[in-house]
């Protein structure tokens, strides 16, 4: 049970600061989640903290590989408009 | 404690304003208590006059943000973009301290260090306050300031007042949550992402509470507002009134930057930017309540140098590593240079005041205000070639004196319009002329034949005769000439008859 940060990440450090498990750190290209430490915040908070502050749609995926903040959910612009 | 507010009307009735720019100029500051006046006299962002002489820098130590604004997109960090929220490299506090000391050694006019992002400084409290703490120990002569969206301000107000932080800027775009919901899609608050009107309500509440807490603690507060036509433009008059009542000492209304290529919500949905005239009209409307800051250049969160210039490229981390700096000697040199600059500022102000007082009282026909554009590289002097200017400062001369009212950015300097200032230059020239169409005079150090004709045709008189003169003196002199030649009289339909006036 762990989330994953992908290349869309802009390395803003916000998730690192709010993670209750210190599971997030700067990787070579973008921030990374240590799957051994990530609990998806199940016992700590109603919402996963990293995904609640991340400003980038599609940067954090759940364990099925689906974005926790899908396109259009944060900035309000659907991808076809942004393209 | 309530701080007095700079106020155009009061200043005018006291007669001080007639001598120089009303913006946040020295004369407008005469009415502030000494403690505040000393704090703003050499601050380029707060004093219109100081910004010609003193430099500032921002260090980008604060990458995280706790809210989303519809005019911001954190995905686009490009060195070609000059706007808030954008930086080329994020620094650790240790790197930032090193950079500040290197820059302050190379640019002795540097008086101010700000932390403004690229995220929200108070959403990165550890990095922000560590940078401040180390700087107040290692470069105690440099003024510190911080900008914030205000969400985390109440939690940080006590800490801010403990550090040697001179000024805090809060960006307040609204006091009405319904309006806020159109500007802020979400905030991160108490471990949740909150959206819509509720998010705006919390943000507004925290901003206002933070403002009050800083004023109670004697910290100087400036308020920034982004003018978004059709959303908060009318509303900002109320914002201006409220923040003034609470004790903010300056209100800075800035135009929204909404280019589609920045990828912001407003940029992509076609939100328009205000025209220069709309911006100036709103600034005028708010100025009755509070002094405005018209020389703001909306700089990047890693900008270095005088306002309007960015020397950040000269001070990248690898370049700083290669520099050998004697920090002690630099601090001594800084003190000397800045003392000279302050003396220069003071003498210029006195000179202008004396000029006005010495003028014989004459009865002139009623005159109208005249706008003039100025090309300058800094130093408060007309010292730039028309073709090299990337922006023009606009001053308004009237019988009350000279006041700075704004700056007009041009897309490209005229001489970069094309390799020979030829075919391509034509359209660049047209666009510059259009930007300056409400001005009647253009003051610069030199201007070529082709732009001269184009300016004249558009009713803008080019004037290179005041090269190397202080701007306000030159604007005043040109206006006096226009008055003497009958070029600045009020149109007849707006004039009371002269005889009526003389008998009155």
Interval A51-76: pLDDT, tens: 999 999 999 999 999 999 998 899 87
Q: Looking at beta carbons, which residues of chain B come within 8 Å of A82?
A: 263, 268
**Pick from B77, B185, B188: CB nearest A75:** B185
- For residue A36, the distance in angstroms to the closest alpha carbon of chain B comes to 22
Q: Looking at beta carbons, which residues of chain A come within 8 Å of B70?
A: 75-76
* B230 vs B353, higher pLDDT: B230
Mean pLDDT (whole number) for B79-103? 73
pLDDT of B140 above 60? yes
**Pick from A11, A56, A76: CB nearest B265:** A76
Within B383-496, residue ranges assigned H as helices are: 423-435, 449-457, 471-484
| Domain co-membership, B369 together with B440 | yes
| Domain co-membership, B92 together with B202 | yes
CA distances from A29 to A18, A59, B65, B104, B163 (A): 20, 13, 20, 32, 35
- For residue B149, the distance in angstroms to the closest alpha carbon of chain A comes to 15
Q: How confident is the model at residue B162 (pLDDT cuts 50, 70, 90)?
A: confident
Q: Which of B452, B430, B447 is nearest to B386 (CA)?
A: B447
| Domain co-membership, B205 together with B81 | yes
Quick check: A47 contacting B, CB < 8 Å?
yes
Within a domain: B184 = yes
Compare all CA atoms of chain B with the CA of A7 and give the residue at the minimum distance. B75
Per the structure, the complete domain to which residue B243 belongs is given by 8-24+55-321
Q: What is the pLDDT of residues B449-493, one digit of tens each?
A: 888 988 999 999 999 889 989 998 999 999 988 888 888 887 766
Give me the CATH number covering residue B371: 3.30.420.130
Within a domain: B296 = yes
Q: Looking at beta carbons, which residues of chain A come within 8 Å of B88?
A: none
CA distances from B52 to B109, B245, B381 (A): 10, 30, 8
Q: What is the pLDDT of residues B218-229, one digit of tens each?
A: 898 999 999 999
Q: How many CB atoms lie within 10 A of CB B256?
A: 25
Q: How confident is the model at residue B380 (pLDDT cuts 50, 70, 90)?
A: confident
Within a domain: B333 = no
Kindly determine whether residue A14 and residue B75, on different chains, have CB atoms separated by under 8 Å: no
Write the CB contacts of B467 (distance below 8 Å, at least 6 apart in sequence).
B382, B383, B444, B445, B446
pLDDT of B287 above 80? no
Compare all CA atoms of chain B with the CA of A73 and give the residue at the minimum distance. B185
Within a domain: B344 = no
pLDDT of B499 above 50? no
Within a domain: B348 = no
| Domain co-membership, B378 together with B295 | no
Strands B186-189 and B370-374: unpaired
Evaluate whether B41 touches B50 at the Cβ level (below 8 Å). yes
Within a domain: B309 = yes
Half-sphere exposure of A21 (CA within 13 A, CB side): 20
Strands B192-195 and B186-189: antiparallel
- For residue A49, the distance in angstroms to the closest alpha carbon of chain B comes to 6
Q: What is the pLDDT of residues B185-198, one digit of tens each?
A: 999 999 999 999 99
| Domain co-membership, B313 together with B379 | no
Of the ranges B81-85, B201-205, B318-322, the best mean pLDDT one: B201-205
Within a domain: B356 = no
Cα B276 to the chain's mean position, in Å?
14
Evaluate whether B306 touches B51 at the Cβ level (below 8 Å). yes
| Domain co-membership, B305 together with B438 | no
pLDDT of B28 above 50? no
Q: What's residue A33's pLDDT?
A: 96
| Domain co-membership, B446 together with B499 | yes
User: Last residue of a domain, which of B321, B351, B386?
Assistant: B321
Pairwise CA distance, residues B402 & B23, whole Å = 10
Pairwise CA distance, residues A31 & A25, whole Å = 6
Cα B116 to the chain's mean position, in Å?
15
Q: Looking at beta carbons, which residues of chain B come within 8 Å of A45?
A: 191
Half-sphere exposure of B135 (CA within 13 A, CB side): 31
For B34-48, B136-150, B366-380, B455-469, which range has the lowest pLDDT when averaged over its residues? Answer: B34-48
Pairwise CA distance, residues B180 & B164, whole Å = 32
Pairwise CA distance, residues B236 & B282, whole Å = 8
**Pick from A12, A17, A75: CB nearest B265:** A75
Average pLDDT of chain B, as a whole number? 80
Quick check: A37 contacting B, CB < 8 Å?
no
Pairwise CA distance, residues B374 & B396, whole Å = 11
Q: Looking at beta carbons, which residues of chain B come within 8 Å of A75?
A: 68, 70, 73, 185, 264-265
Q: What is the pLDDT of residues B397-410, one digit of tens each?
A: 988 888 888 888 88
For each of the domains in chain A, give its residue range(s) and CATH number, in order of start: 1-83 (3.30.70.20)
Instruction: Mutation target for A interface from B74, B76, B90: give the one with most A CBs within 10 A.
Output: B74
Q: How confident is the model at residue B366 (pLDDT cuts 50, 70, 90)?
A: confident
| Domain co-membership, B162 together with B72 | yes
| Domain co-membership, B311 together with B392 | no
For B89-93, B204-208, B273-277, B423-427, which range has the lowest pLDDT when averaged over its residues? Answer: B423-427
**Pick from A46, A47, A76: CB nearest B185:** A76
| Domain co-membership, B98 together with B196 | yes
Structural domains in chain B (count)? 2
Q: How confident is the model at residue A81 (pLDDT cuts 50, 70, 90)?
A: low
**What end-to-end distance do the CA atoms of chain B give, in Å?**
45
Mean pLDDT (whole number) for B294-319? 70
**Pick from A8, A46, A55: CB nearest B68:** A55
Compare all CA atoms of chain A with the CA of B194 and give the residue at the minimum distance. A52
Q: Looking at beta carbons, which residues of chain A come within 8 Å of B123?
A: 14
Give me the CATH number covering residue B303: 3.20.20.70
List of E strands, A1-83? 4-5, 24-26, 31-33, 60-61
| Domain co-membership, B204 together with B311 | yes
| Domain co-membership, B224 together with B102 | yes
* B216 vs B259, higher pLDDT: B216
Pairwise CA distance, residues A41 & B138, whole Å = 41
Kindly determine whether residue A52 and residue B191, on different chains, have CB atoms separated by under 8 Å: yes
User: Last residue of a domain, which of B268, B295, B321?
Assistant: B321
**Pick from A14, A75, A81: CB nearest B65:** A14
Q: What's residue B2's pLDDT?
A: 42
pLDDT of B298 above 80? no
- For residue A48, the distance in angstroms to the closest alpha carbon of chain B comes to 9
Quick check: A26 contacting B, CB < 8 Å?
no
Write the CB contacts of A51 (distance below 8 Å, at least 6 apart in sequence).
A3, A60, A68, A69
DSSP state of B361: P
Within a domain: B33 = no
Instruction: Mutation target for B interface from A74, A75, A80: give the one with most B CBs within 10 A.
Output: A75
**Pick from A14, A49, A56: CB nearest B191:** A49
């Amino acid at each position: 049970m762990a989330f994953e940060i992908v290349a869309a990440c802009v390395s803003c450090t916000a998730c690192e600061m709010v993670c209750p498990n210190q599971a997030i750190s700067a990787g070579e290209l973008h921030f990374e989640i240590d799957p051994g430490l990530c609990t998806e915040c199940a016992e700590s908070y109603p919402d996963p903290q990293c995904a609640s502050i991340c400003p980038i749609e599609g940067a954090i995926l759940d364990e099925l590989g689906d974005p926790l903040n899908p396109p259009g959910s944060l900035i309000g612009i659907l991808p076809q408009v942004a393209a | 404690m309530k701080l007095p507010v700079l106020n155009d009307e009061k200043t005018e009735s006291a007669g001080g304003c007639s001598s120089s720019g009303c913006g946040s100029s020295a004369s407008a500051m005469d009415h502030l208590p000494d403690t505040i006046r000393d704090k703003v006299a050499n601050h380029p962002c707060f004093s219109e006059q100081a910004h010609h002489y003193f430099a500032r820098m921002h260090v980008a130590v604060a990458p995280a943000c706790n809210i989303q604004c519809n005019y911001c997109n954190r995905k686009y960090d490009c060195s070609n973009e000059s706007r808030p929220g954008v930086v080329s490299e994020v620094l650790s506090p240790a790197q930032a301290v090193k950079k500040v000391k290197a820059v302050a050694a190379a640019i002795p006019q540097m008086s101010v260090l700000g932390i403004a992002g690229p995220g929200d400084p108070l959403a990165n409290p550890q990095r922000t306050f560590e940078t401040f703490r180390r700087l107040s120990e290692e470069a105690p002569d440099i003024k510190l300031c911080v900008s914030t969206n205000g969400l985390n301000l109440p939690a940080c107000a006590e800490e801010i007042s403990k550090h040697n932080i001179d000024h805090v800027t809060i960006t307040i775009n609204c006091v009405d949550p319904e309006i806020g919901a159109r500007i802020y899609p979400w905030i991160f608050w108490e471990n949740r992402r909150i959206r819509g009107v509720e998010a705006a309500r919390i943000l507004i509440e925290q901003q206002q509470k933070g403002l009050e807490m800083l004023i109670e603690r004697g910290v100087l507060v400036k308020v920034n507002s982004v003018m978004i036509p059709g959303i908060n433009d009318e509303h900002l008059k109320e914002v201006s009134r409220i923040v003034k009542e609470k004790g903010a000492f300056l209100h800075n209304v800035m135009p929204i930057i909404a280019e589609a290529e920045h990828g912001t919500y407003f940029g992509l949905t076609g939100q328009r930017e205000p025209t220069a005239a709309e911006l100036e009209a709103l600034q005028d409307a708010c100025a009755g309540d509070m002094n405005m800051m018209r020389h703001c250049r909306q700089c990047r969160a890693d900008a270095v140098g005088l306002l309007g210039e960015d020397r950040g490229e000269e001070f990248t981390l690898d370049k700083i590593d290669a520099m050998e700096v004697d920090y002690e000697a630099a601090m001594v040199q800084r003190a000397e240079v800045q003392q000279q600059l302050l003396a220069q500022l003071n003498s210029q102000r006195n000179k202008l005041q004396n000029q006005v007082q010495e003028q014989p009282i004459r009865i002139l026909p009623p005159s109208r205000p005249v706008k003039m554009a100025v090309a300058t590289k800094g130093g408060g002097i007309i010292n730039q070639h028309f073709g090299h200017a990337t922006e023009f400062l606009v001053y308004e001369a009237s019988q009350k004196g000279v006041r700075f009212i704004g700056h007009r950015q041009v897309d490209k300097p005229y001489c970069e319009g094309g390799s020979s200032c030829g075919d391509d230059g034509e359209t660049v020239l047209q666009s510059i002329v259009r930007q300056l169409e409400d001005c009647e005079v253009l003051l610069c150090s030199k201007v070529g034949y082709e732009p001269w004709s184009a300016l004249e045709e558009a009713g803008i008189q080019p004037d290179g005769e005041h090269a190397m003169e202080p701007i306000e003196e030159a604007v005043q002199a040109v206006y006096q000439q226009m008055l003497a030649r009958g070029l600045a009289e009020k149109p007849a339909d707006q004039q009371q008859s002269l005889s009526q006036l003389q008998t009155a």
